[in-house]
Chains A and B, each alone.
Chain A
Amino acid sequence: DTAVSQTPKYLVTQMGNDKSIKCEQNLGHDTMYWYKQDSKKFLKIMFSYNNKELIINETVPNRFSPKSPDKAHLNLHINSLELGDSAVYFCASSPSPGTAGEAFFGQGTRLTVV
């Protein structure tokens, strides 16, 4: 059973389009995250949700809008895609906000904007 699964694994799209990435965890965790990994492998937190409520938003452009319909799902919608949005996006989850450093990561979604 996959603990944290995200779809799609690869996403190629044109500039200006709107796209979504879905994430689900079956670990029963309360807290979920979105991370961005750039071309140099640098990992940076974007958002954190605890039990469907946003608790961290790390100065991410408004074009990025996370949505958590329930605590097992955290989707990421991106409007008006730009070339600089090309990266690998990771969803992750942990039992609580205090265990962010012990998060389980999904396999990533490689987004390429052309």
Chain B
Amino acid sequence: GENVEQHPSTLSVQEGDSAVIKCTYSDSASNYFPWYKQELGKGPQLIIDIRSNVGEKKDQRIAVTLNKTAKHFSLHITETQPEDSAVYFCAAATGGSYIPTFGRGTSLIVHP
């Protein structure tokens, strides 16, 4: 089955800095890569996704990149704000089952 590795497990930045979270996946059949943000005491919320026919996608301060050859994908957050503090999960899904396999999460802490 699919295996998704996510790094780092904890990321601490100053407000205004950029943050980058990296994931790798094992199943070359995976073609959909969502990113979720989980705030304390809440459920995960989809914040951005990318499909395998696209190399990069941007939405305001967040962007995702995908390298299919290397099986890497990354989340980039620019101009971080304290409200960006949360646990971020990457995931990978194939067209077969569609159920995403999640990475183990990155706890992002943005210091004011």
Contacts and interface: CB of A to CB of B under 8 A. Distances in A.
Interface of A: 4, 40-45, 48, 56, 90, 92, 97-108
Nearest to A90: B43
Q: Select the residue from B43, B45, B98 with max chain A CB neighbours within 10 A.
A: B43
B91 A101 contact: yes
Interface string B43-61: 1111001000000000000
Contact of B45 (A42, A97, A100, A105): A105
B41 A107 contact: yes
Contacts of A103: 46
Given A42-B104, A101-B91, A106 B43 contact: yes
Nearest to A48: B99
Contacts of B45: 105
A55 B64 CA distance: 31
Contact of B49 (A40, A97, A101, A106): A101
B87 to A, nearest CB: 6
B98 A107 contact: no
B32 A43 contact: no
B69 interface: no
Interface in B70-107: 87, 89, 91, 93, 97-100, 102, 104-105
B43 A105 contact: yes
Contact of A56 (B91, B97, B105): B97
A107 B91 contact: no
